[in-house]
Amino acid sequence: MNFKVPRGTQDILPDVSWKWQRVEKIARSICDVYNYKEIRTPIFEQTELFQRTVGDTTDIVQKEMYTFTDRGDRSMTLRPEGTAPVVRSFVEHKMFGYADQPVKLYYTGPMFRYERQQAGRYRQFVQFGVESIGSADPAIDAEVIELAMNIYKKTGLSDIKLVLNSLGDKESRDAHREALIAHFSPRIEEFCSDCQNRLEKNPLRILDCKVDREHPLMTTAPSLADYLNEESSAYFEKVKNYLNIAGIEYEYDPNLVRGLDYYNHTAFEIMSTSKGFGAITTLCGGGRYNGLAEEIGGPPAPGIGFALSIERLLLALEAEGKSFTDEPSLDVYLVTLGDAAREKGFEILSKLRDNGLRSEMDYMDRKMKAQMKSADRLQANHVIVIGEDEVNENVVQLKNMADGEQKKVAVDELMGELKK
Ligand code: ATP
Ligand code: MG
């Protein structure tokens, strides 16, 4: 038997996992500063939750969901995205009743989409996302966007841009919808079967089609911008004003259509502009979803959020040549020679760790030279050497690897010496 990791998934190996932890730590600490609290929801939900919210005509629901029937004959789906589960939880736990509104939440964890594998596109990938639910203040749109931008900046990325659009409210979208149907209907046979289905159900989706991207009718399609009603335009102006106040630059793209059905008003993406980055340049997508809570049986609760994938963030860092290189090093490596020294070493090791010092010793019964090599590889800041003489005298040889200085230290004074 020869087992392999399933197609479209990957093992995060120990020489890389620390980079993931680094990103998660940065993202969590930024959420903390913005007063967002973590929420953890299950990895699977009722299939209908995604069908209703993400939308029947989207790629996710039509082609990408991992859906299965459980032993109780219920249709379940591995979550393809995080917003619907979070809003489901918001409604179920009546968070709209919390004294402090909006309710500001973040999540991280694996998402599942049955997609064709390519660079930056996996079947299991990890999203970090934020949702602010309960406020329709345009300032919160700017807050959420700023938070997302700050995560990237804190990781060291600089070749990124924010692309912004407004999808308007229902009235604006309905007007635009009619215009789109009128535009595409006469030549709809020239489009793929998905688009033909979308025409009546959700013509906006046609603009997001990956197959018919080059069709001449795509570029001449009626723009949402021309169909925003007064209220929607005013809202969009306020969001832009808050972004200006925060000093966040953006590019307006009237053709930016987000992949999911539930968005309205503000829609945005953060993209990598690095030359080294592949064809997929979107790192993060987000937007406002004012009707979503009602859609799943809750009271009106306007929300906005975003999701980014850690895979693409790390790829973007690599493309910019800014991948993390400062893997945490070891504080102390213990070299022991002989059985008595090993026992003494084990006792000291336990104390070092009690004091929070990242430390290690040899468990392979190797010669001194091989142990020293390990200490080097692990970039130990200090090496402690214990032989028979040291055991008898109750001392150790302590070597500072930065300056090469070595001295004899009594075991009782070791901790004080290391803390200097
Ligand atoms: P795309 O147009 O690339 O398919 P999407 O619109 O499906 O993206 P969203 O649902 O908005 O993506 O998800 C938010 C973010 O999650 C994306 O911007 C991207 O960074 C990431 N993402 C989406 N799908 C994948 C995937 N299959 N593998 C890795 N990351 C992904
Ligand atoms: Mg997609």
pLDDT for 407-419, tens place per residue? 999 999 999 999 8
The partner residues of 400 in beta bridges, in order of sequence, read 382
CA 262 to chain centre: 20
The mean pLDDT of the chain is 95
Cα 60 to middle of ligand 2, angstroms? 7
Cα 334 to middle of ligand 1, angstroms? 46
**Residue 279: its pLDDT value, please?**
76
- Average pLDDT (144-159) is 97
Q: Is 315 in the pocket of ligand 1 (CB under 6 A)?
A: no
Higher pLDDT, 118 or 49: 49
**Residue 277: its pLDDT value, please?**
84
Could you write out the DSSP letters of every residue in 97-141?
GSSSSSEEEEEEEEEE-----BTTB-SEEEEEEEEEES---HHHH
**Residue 354: its pLDDT value, please?**
97
For the beta sheet containing 75-78, the strands, ordered from the edge strand earlier in sequence to the opposite edge, are: 44-46, 75-78, 66-69
Amino acid found at 55? G
Cα 137 to middle of ligand 1, angstroms? 27
Rounded Cα distance, 83 and 339, in Å:
58
- Average pLDDT (393-418) is 96
Residue nearest to atom 6 of ligand 1 (CA): 259
Rounded Cα distance, 418 and 139, in Å:
49
pLDDT for 166-212, tens place per residue? 999 989 989 999 999 999 999 999 999 989 998 988 898 898 888 89
- Mutation test residue for ligand 1: of 125, 209, 260, 277, the one with most atoms within 8 Å of CB: 125
Cα 117 to middle of ligand 1, angstroms? 12
- Mutation test residue for ligand 1: of 128, 208, 309, the one with most atoms within 8 Å of CB: 309
Residue nearest to atom 18 of ligand 1 (CA): 284
pLDDT for 279-297, tens place per residue? 778 999 999 999 999 999 9
- Residue 263, pLDDT > 80, answer yes
Pair type for strands 160-166 and 264-272: antiparallel
- Collapsed DSSP state (helix, strand, coil) of residue 34: coil
Cα 394 to middle of ligand 2, angstroms? 63
pLDDT for 303-347, tens place per residue? 999 999 999 999 999 999 999 999 989 999 999 999 999 999 999
Q: How many residues would you count in the chain?
A: 420
Question: With pLDDT > 70 as the criterion, what percentage of the chain qualifies?
Answer: 100
- Collapsed DSSP state (helix, strand, coil) of residue 82: coil
CA 79 to chain centre: 15
Q: Is 112 in the pocket of ligand 1 (CB under 6 A)?
A: no
Q: Which two tokens stand for residue 101?
A: 């509104």
Residue nearest to atom 1 of ligand 1 (CA): 282
**Residue 254: its pLDDT value, please?**
87
- Residue 41, pLDDT > 70, answer yes
Cα 41 to middle of ligand 2, angstroms? 21
Residue nearest to atom 25 of ligand 1 (CA): 121
Cα 259 to middle of ligand 2, angstroms? 7
Q: Is the pTM of this model over 0.95?
A: no
Amino acid found at 9? T
The number of the ligand 1 atom at minimal distance from the alpha carbon of 286 is 11
**32-36, 194-198, 330-334, 380-384: the lowest-pLDDT one:** 194-198
What single-letter DSSP state applies at residue 200?
H
- Collapsed DSSP state (helix, strand, coil) of residue 16: helix
Query: How far apart, in Å, are the Cα atoms of 161 and each of 28, 70, 220, 276?
Result: 22, 43, 25, 15
- Average pLDDT (6-26) is 97
Rounded Cα distance, 244 and 136, in Å:
19
Q: Residue 23: which of 145, 148, 151 has the closest Cα?
A: 151
CB atoms within 10 A of CB 134: 21
**Residue 1: its pLDDT value, please?**
83
Q: Is 311 in the pocket of ligand 1 (CB under 6 A)?
A: yes
The number of the ligand 1 atom at minimal distance from the alpha carbon of 282 is 18
- Residue 378, pLDDT > 80, answer yes
pLDDT category at 259 given cuts 50, 70, 90 is low
